[in-house]
Amino acid sequence: MNNGSVKYDESTLEMLDKIEFYPTKPPFKDKPISNARFNIFARKVEKIRKFLEEHKEDLHYQIRELRSFACSPGGLVMDEFRAQIWPILAENIPGPSDLLRDETESSCSDSDFESAVSTLSNFNEEETDSDKEEEKIKDVESEKVDDAVIVELPPPSEEDLKTHSEWNQVQMDVNRTLARFPPDITEFARKSLQTDLIPLIVRVLWENKNFRYYQGFHDICLTLILVLGVEDGYKVAKILSERSAFTNYLTGSLEKTAMVELQYLYVLLYKANMGLEKYLRGADLGTLFALSWPITWFSHSLDEYSDVVLCFDLFLSSHFLMPVYLGAALISEREDEIFRTEQEMPMLHGLLSHIPSTVDIGRVIERARDIYNDYPPLLATDHYRREYEKEVERDRETSRRMRQMRLPAETLKRKNILDLLKDPTVTAGIVLSAGVGIAYAYFKMSYG
Amino acid sequence: MEDYKYLFKVVLVGNAGVGKTCLVRKFTQGIFPPGQSATIGVDFMIKTVKVGEDKIKLQIWDTAGQERFRSITQSYYRSAHAIVLVYDVACQPSFDCLPEWLGEIEQYANRKVLKILVGNKVDKEDEREVPERIGKNFADANGFDYFLETSALDATNVDTLFQEVATRLTNDMKLTDERFHNFKSNENRDGNISILDRVLERAKCANCRT
């Protein structure tokens, strides 16, 4: 498999030319892994290309296949494919509030959307219930619209959009996105995209007066406009704002949405990498270091454009908690660095909030999917969460006792000793050691 | 563990886009990143400076300026030794928000926190909207310990700002230390260690090693 001499279609090879896998083209001498990887991607390009040709007419009904392309190694491989497939994935995105119709279809995240989400919203807050209701109404309305004559209001003009209260903030954030553009883009193209991006974002906000822009939503829209262009970029941004995790971030407080989701980082790590979870908990790390992960789908913290789009392939086809799974996988991947870092919150926060470009995101995605399959949302948000909470409580109790035991002798007044004796584990310990002592003495007397 | 005399926690706050991240990066890494993206949540950096012969470690927390992140970042105020409130001299609205920020600081930070007001982007002299005098008056009227104008772009006063923070905090800490030692040597004459002693010791540790 790992020689570079596999034959491919002309058109596939043409497409492969556009991908920057490596600075040089195969075959790579003495680099079997690079060759193997190139071959995997090349085969995938060929497969997707053929699939898209065969299903020109009915691509919308091929959601299962499309998701499986997007989630498997290499994702959708090329932006050319993404431009065609992302809108379809977005239309079918399994969001937190309209999961009923998707449970049988998803290939990436095969189970349990509905129950997982209902658990999360219980854990969450009342707000989401009303959101759900609204969402249902919206769904019904949109179905009606599908059947009836579509009367569309004219889109707001740019002058209208400029009156939006968030225009200035969006403009400021978009104007400082230089680092987010792929390196090969010309300055002219970049500036023109930035100019288009501001009204695109504000138009999404314009659609729903409950939307409150947050810094980071512009990162999402930027990725969409880069891959899809202005028109489809807007369509997908609108869909995502209406029925995905972003709906919650745009309407609710980040504390009660994203920060709550991020708590599952520790539940997952507890199951998948117990020692690491304990180390991070010992430092009282919290979850703020990871805030940008769910709310920007990692686009804020990844340096490589190709890594960002790979993440979007995955998230557009997965359960809305997938960014948390990816986060857990990423933390696991950086285990060695973490253990080498002082067990203190600031140091670990500094380390983890930046993702070095040496991290192999493809591999991290694989790992995230493994964690997902081993500990799916249904269990993570319910059973495992409770298990984890118990563990945290138990640990806290133990360290409380340890502290009590470690008090300097001089302060151990009679009262403390009496208190300690009331503690069943301490009493049991004393009784046990006394028992062992007596048994030993008896043994000595009888046989010694 | 690295050797240092004190460790201080400094938190930067202020409206979005006033240049908090650029100030921190100029100071810690010596670079002015063009097109520095918006901060999401809180960023953390560390730098050691010298005050006299002492090595002082500054833990710098750079918070997101947007209102949507405020409830999340407030928890970082509490253990701060110094809070640096930044506005943009070329942006009147960022100055007009200062009372709001002061309210936040009063509500969430320690009462004794060192408060510093910074007018950033003085390189934009042509676009200046807030005269230096106005900034200075505001600082005086509102109990700030220190005021200065900076530019992360051309490095004006960037080192001075953080050096001043370190110096003031170090001096304060030394004063506390001295008082503590005097107190302790008085106490030790009769050979007893009081509870108060221990409390003081603990408070001191908590102060310098949060």
For residue B41, the chain A residues in CB contact (below 8 A) are 288-289, 291-292, 353
Q: How confident is the model at residue A404 (pLDDT cuts 50, 70, 90)?
A: confident
Cβ contacts from A onto B, under 8 A = 74
Strand pairing report for B6-13 and B54-63: parallel
Question: What 3-state DSSP class applies to A30?
Answer: coil
Contacts 24+ apart (CB under 8 A), B164-168: B164/B116, B165/B8, B165/B10, B165/B58, B165/B82, B165/B84, B165/B114, B165/B116, B166/B8, B166/B49, B166/B51, B166/B56, B166/B58, B167/B51, B168/B82, B168/B114
Quick check: helix, strand or coil at residue B48?
Answer: strand
Cβ separation of B38 and A180 shorter than 8 Å?
no
Q: Are A97 and A131 in contact (CB under 8 A)?
A: yes
pLDDT reading at A278 higher than 70: yes
Which chain A residue lies closest to B43 (C-alpha atoms)?
A350
pLDDT of residue A397: 93
Structure tokens at B187: 């106490």
Closest CA to B63 of B73, B71, B51: B73
* Alpha carbon distance B8, A50 (integer Å): 61
Scanning every residue of chain B, which has its alpha carbon at the shortest distance from the alpha carbon of A411?
B195
pLDDT at A116 over 50: no
Structure tokens at A381: 């948000």
Evaluate whether A308 touches A223 at the Cβ level (below 8 Å). yes
* CATH class (in words) of the domain with range A258-381: mainly alpha
**Neighbour count for residue B91 (Cβ, 10 Å):** 22
Amino acid in the structure at residue B150: T
Question: What residues of chain B lie within 8 A of the CB of A215, using their CB?
Answer: 16, 38-40, 64, 66, 68-69
Would you call A254 and B38 a contact, using CB atoms and an 8 Å cutoff?
no
A245 in Cβ contact with A212 (< 8 Å): no
What residue spans define the domains of chain A? 10-82, 258-381, 394-447
A122/chain B closest Cα distance in angstroms? 21
The per-residue pLDDT for A101 is 37
pLDDT of A215: 96
Interface touch B40/A215, C-beta < 8 Å: yes
User: What ipTM describes this predicted complex?
Assistant: 0.85
pLDDT for A217: 97
A284 touches chain B (CB under 8 A): no
Q: What is the pLDDT of residues A153-196, one digit of tens each?
A: 788 999 999 999 999 999 999 999 988 888 888 999 999 999 99
* CB-based contact B68 A172, cutoff 8 Å: no
At residue B182, the pLDDT reads: 81
Label the pairing between strands B82-88 and B114-120.
Answer: parallel
B156 token code pair:
């004006």
Contact in structure between B28 and B45 (CB atoms under 8 Å): yes
Residues of B in Cβ contact (< 8 Å) with A176: 17, 35-38
Low-confidence ranges of chain B (pLDDT < 50): 209-210
| Chain A contact set for B197 (CB, 8 A) | none
Nearest Cα to Cα of residue B142 among B117, B112, B111, B161:
B117
Chain B positions in Cβ-Cβ contact with residue A172 (cut-off 8 Å): 16-17, 38
pLDDT above 60 for A380: yes
CA distance A79 to A233: 13
d(CA A288, CA B194): 41
Q: At residue A31, does pLDDT exceed 70?
A: no
Distance CA B112, CA A281 (A): 30
- Examine the pLDDT at A426 and tell me if it is beyond 70: no
User: Of residues A39 and A124, which shows the higher confidence score?
Assistant: A39
pLDDT over 90 for what percent of chain A?
63
Cα separations in angstroms, A264 against A120, A425, B28: 10, 32, 33
Interface of B with A (CB under 8 A): 1, 16-17, 33-46, 59, 64, 66, 68-69, 71-72
Instruction: Please say if the pLDDT value at position A417 is more than 60.
Output: no
The three state secondary structure string of A52-115 is: HHHCCCCHHHCHHHHHHHHHCCCCCCCHHHHHHHHHHHHHCCCCCCCCHHHCCCCCCCCCCHHH
Yes or no: say if B133 and B103 are a contact pair by the CB < 8 Å rule: no
Query: Six-digit token pair at B183?
Result: 């107190």
Of A91-95, A257-261, A294-298, A434-438, minimum mean pLDDT range: A434-438
For β-strands B54-63 and B82-88, DSSP reports them as unpaired
In B, minimum Cα distance to A253 occurs at B68
pLDDT digits (tens, 9 = 90+) for A225-251: 999 999 999 999 999 999 999 999 999
Token representation of residue A89: 């994935």
